[in-house]
Chain A
Amino acid sequence: MNLLGPLGVTLTVFVSAVVAVLVLWRLGRANRTASASERVPFSGGLSPSVHAWSRYHARYYVMSLLFLAFDMEMVYMYPWAVVFISEGPIAMVEMGMFIAILLLGILYAWREGAFEWA
């Protein structure tokens, strides 16, 4: 057992990895005097006429809303998984009802074509 506790160790691992990669990035050779022609983004040899950064049309927005609903469901399922055996069938039935309603949501979204955009 150490002073930081397991989450502290996890955080240390995270920060060390970030720092290590950034240091390597910094140490690597870079073309710091790239000319204009060396900076053109590649799309086959022709120059782009506009910036790539744009108000991009993420056409899967309906799906991403559905994701929000399911992500909340995931949050409930973490503690549920721990107490599942001790609570017994009641936990199963309660979560089952909740999930069934959400699944109907998927079917509805599918019928409405939320998962296809082209």
Chain B
Amino acid sequence: MAGRGIRVGLRQALAQLAAGAPVPVFAVAGAGARERVADLRLSREIELVDEPAAAQLLLIGGLVPDVLSAPLAAVHDAMPGPRCTVFWPLGASTMPALMVPHAVRIPDSEDPVAIIVQAQRAVLTGIRASDPPLLPDVDPNPWRGIGPYGQGGSGMTGGTPYGRPMAELGPDRDGLRLDLLPLAIGPFFPRFPTGLIVEVTMAGDLVVEAAIAGSPFAALGADATARRGLQPFLRALSEPVSIAELEVARARDHLRWAAGTLLTQGLRALAARVLRLARSATPAEASAVASLTRHLELVRVPQWSGAGIGCLDRGLLAGLGVGPIGRAAGLAEDARTEDPSYMALGFEPVVMHGGDAAARWRLRMAEAVQSLELAGRAGARRTRTTGLVESPRGRLAAGDAPFERLRPLLATLLANLEWGDAVTTIVSLDLDLEEAGLVSSSRVGAEAA
């Protein structure tokens, strides 16, 4: 009896102590929540983790399309517990189907950090029960095969041991026959934008085949229209928008991308520094951005992981209108050059050469500085509505987003890359599935008319 009492006491003491630690959160950023969710990284009381196994709290921000609800539930179940779910609507009307009905809700007016910390405390101290698994307890594959481990049949690939088949042999370019490991990455892989599903076949650490699925945000429906109004670049498709606002948004977008790239390179602290700048960058901070860029260049940030990686040839990109990616490969393509208001400001697109991941980094950082300077000079000028906008990712028009134009190039681009290089490449392209979904989900042009 006494031993039991001690154990209970110890557990309570541990829970008390644990409640003071940063809450390990696995965050899923749906439509309209990317920036707000990423900013949680700056909070001391929250730690955004990469793997659900390390998390105790699943944060669902914004609108996650219903097609992603099964993977979302899988991520929820992968948290070891005690666990709980927090829903931060940010204007979304519904939580994805299949999710826990009793998830904690963050009202739009309240501080998300306080509510997350409160929810975590409640679970740790037992006030709130840990979420049960959402998906049914069914083995992924019916067990078949012969022998104690189901290894029977002929050779290792005969049966389906432990409920899943083994990888199949396949030929390789160096003449050996070894296993080809199919791997579906996403839609909530921490390094990739929400919704990106990359199906790769790996031979060793090499990608031999890659397929990229389309944007799951294409079927957003009613919520999409409201979201579009919040996005300056989407708004600019149908109405004149202040250039200063647009260019500050562009600079911030590029800096947020840079923070994501730093995370991929394992630099969490530097990423936080860049993120803080991204959150509040104003025209006055152009020189701060420039000096930060120089510092990062000094510690070899673009060079070590990006030089020579993910090269896209200018011939391949000509006419594609993929913004920074094209301009980093020597193409002066920029929809802003067709806008007289920009030309009156003396705008000239930044162009760099190389076309690799390092060139894309350098170009976006240079463009962030340029955009802040433009915003400072723009005054009250507004864009002219032509139905074409240069978003931070390239030419944007109704039903036509840079992501969809880049997608056909990706299979060949990723083939024969080592996995780390493949991730660097995908991150360097700054794919935005939400933007793609929002312009395609209904006719933006028709609304404008």
Is any CB of A less than 8 Å from a CB of B in the complex? yes
A57-B172 contact in complex given A37-B137, A46-B197, C-beta closer than 8 Å: yes
User: Which residues 37-64 in A have Cβ within 8 Å of B in the complex?
Assistant: 37-38, 40, 42-59
| Interface residue A36 (Cβ < 8 Å from any Cβ of B) | yes
For A51, the chain B residues whose CB sits under 8 A away are 161-162, 164-167
B162 touches A40 (CB 8 A): no
CA distance in complex: A113, B189 (Å): 33
| A42 and B179 in contact, given A35-B133, A51-B165 (Cβ under 8 angstroms) | no
Contact between A44 and B185, CB atoms less than 8 A apart: yes
> Which chain B residues border A46 with CB–CB below 8 Å?
71, 74, 184-187, 197
- With A55-B169, A59-B204, A59-B206 known as contacts, the answer to whether A37 contacts B179 (CB < 8 A) is no
User: Do A43 and B185 have beta carbons less than 8 Å apart?
Assistant: yes
**Is A118 on the interface with B (CB-CB < 8 A)?**
yes
Task: Check A42 against B135 for contact (C-beta < 8 Å).
Answer: no
User: Which residue of the partner chain, among A36, A37, A49, A58, contacts B182 with CB atoms under 8 Å?
Assistant: A49
**Cβ contact of B206, chosen from A42, A43, A117, cutoff 8 A:** A117
**With A46-B186, A50-B182, A51-B161 in contact, do A118 and B176 touch (Cβ < 8 Å)?**
no
**Least CB distance, B167 to chain A, in whole angstroms:** 4
Contact of B137 with A50 in the complex, beta carbons under 8 Å: no
The interface centre, meaning the residue of B134, B172, B181 with most chain A CB atoms within 10 A of its CB, is: B181
Q: Inside 8 A of B3's CB, which chain A residues have their CB?
A: none
Residues of A within 8 A of B139 (CB): 36
Given A51-B161, A57-B204, A43–B183 Cβ distance below 8 Å?
yes
Docked pose: A58 CA to B181 CA in angstroms: 13
Tell me if A48 and B206 are in contact (CB < 8 A): no
Q: In the bound complex, what is the Cα–Cα distance between A32 and B210 (angstroms)?
A: 37
Distance in angstroms from A7 CB to nearest chain B CB is 38
Say yes or no for A31: interface residue by CB 8 A criterion.
yes
- Interface stretch, picked from B77-85, B101-109, B341-349, is B77-85
Residues in A neighbouring B72, C-beta threshold 8 A: 45
A53 cross-chain contacts in B, Cβ below 8 A: 166
Given A37-B77, A37-B133, A118-B418, CB of A58 within 8 Å of CB of B164: no
The reply on B316 being an interface residue by CB < 8 A is no
Contact with B along A46-86 (1 / 0, CB 8 A): 11111111111111000000000000000000000000000
In the bound assembly, the distance between CA atoms of A37 and B163 in angstroms comes to 13
List chain A residues, Cβ under 8 A from B184.
Answer: 43-44, 46-49
Alpha-carbon separation in the docked complex, A35 to B135 (Å): 9
CB distance from A53 to the nearest CB of B (A): 8
Closest to B75 in A: A45
A53 to B157, CA, bound (A): 12
Distance in Å: Cβ of B9 to nearest Cβ of chain A? 16
The answer to whether A40 and B167 touch (CB under 8 A), given A45-B187, A46-B184, A56-B179, is: no
Q: Are B167 and A58 in contact (CB under 8 A)?
A: no
In the complex, whether B338 has a CB less than 8 A from a CB of chain A is no
Q: Smallest CB–CB gap between A31 and chain B, Å?
A: 6
- What is the 8 Å Cβ interface bit string for chain B, positions 324-365, against chain A (1 contact, 0 not)? 000000000000000000000000000000000000000000
Q: Is the interface of A mostly helix, strand, loop or mixed?
A: loop
Which residue on B lies nearest to A50, using beta carbons? B167
Check B265 for interface membership: any CB of A closer than 8 A: no
When C-beta atoms are compared, the residue in chain B nearest to A59 turns out to be B204
Question: Quick check: is B24 within 8 A (CB to CB) of the other chain?
Answer: no
Known: A35-B133, A40-B140, A55-B169. A47 touches B74 (CB 8 A): yes
B164, A45: Cβ atoms under 8 Å? no
Closest to A49 in B: B182
- CB of A54 to closest CB in B, whole Å: 4
- Whether B71 and A45, one on each chain, are in contact in the complex, defined by CB atoms closer than 8 angstroms, is yes
In the assembled complex, the Cα of A47 lies from the Cα of B187 at a distance in Å of: 11
Task: From the candidates B78, B181, B197, name the one contacting A42 in the complex (CB within 8 A).
Answer: B78
Question: Which residues of chain B in 42-76 are interfacial with respect to chain A, using CB atoms and an 8 Å cutoff?
Answer: 51-53, 68, 71-75
Q: Give chain A nearest CB distance to B206 CB in angstroms.
A: 6
**Residues of the B chain whose Cβ atoms lie less than 8 Å from the Cβ of A44:** 71, 184-189, 192, 197
- Most B CB within 10 A of own CB, among A56, A57, A58, A118: A57
Instruction: Report the separation of the CA atoms of residues A7 and B204 in the bound assembly, to the nearest whole angstrom.
Output: 40
Q: Tell whether B372 is near chain A: CB-to-CB under 8 Å.
A: no
Cβ of A50 and Cβ of B164 under 8 Å apart?
Answer: yes
**CA separation between A47 and B81, bound complex, in Å?**
20
User: In the assembly, what is the distance between CA of A53 and CA of B188, in Å?
Assistant: 23
Q: How far does the Cβ of B26 sit from chain A's closest Cβ, in whole Å?
A: 10
Expressed in whole angstroms, the minimum distance between the Cβ of A84 and any Cβ of chain B is 37
CB of B198 to closest CB in A, whole Å: 9
Closest to A38 in B: B77
Name the one of A37, A38, A49 contacting B164, with C-beta atoms under 8 angstroms.
A49
Candidates A52, A55, A117, A118; contact of B178 at CB < 8 Å: A55
A contact set with B: CB distance below 8 Å: 31, 35-38, 40, 42-59, 117-118
A-B contact pairs, 8 of them (CB 8 A): A36-B138, A40-B140, A46-B185, A56-B178, A59-B206, A117-B204, A117-B206, A118-B206
Which 9 A/B pairs are nearest by Cβ-Cβ distance?
Answer: A45-B71, A57-B204, A44-B189, A37-B135, A54-B179, A35-B137, A118-B418, A37-B77, A46-B184
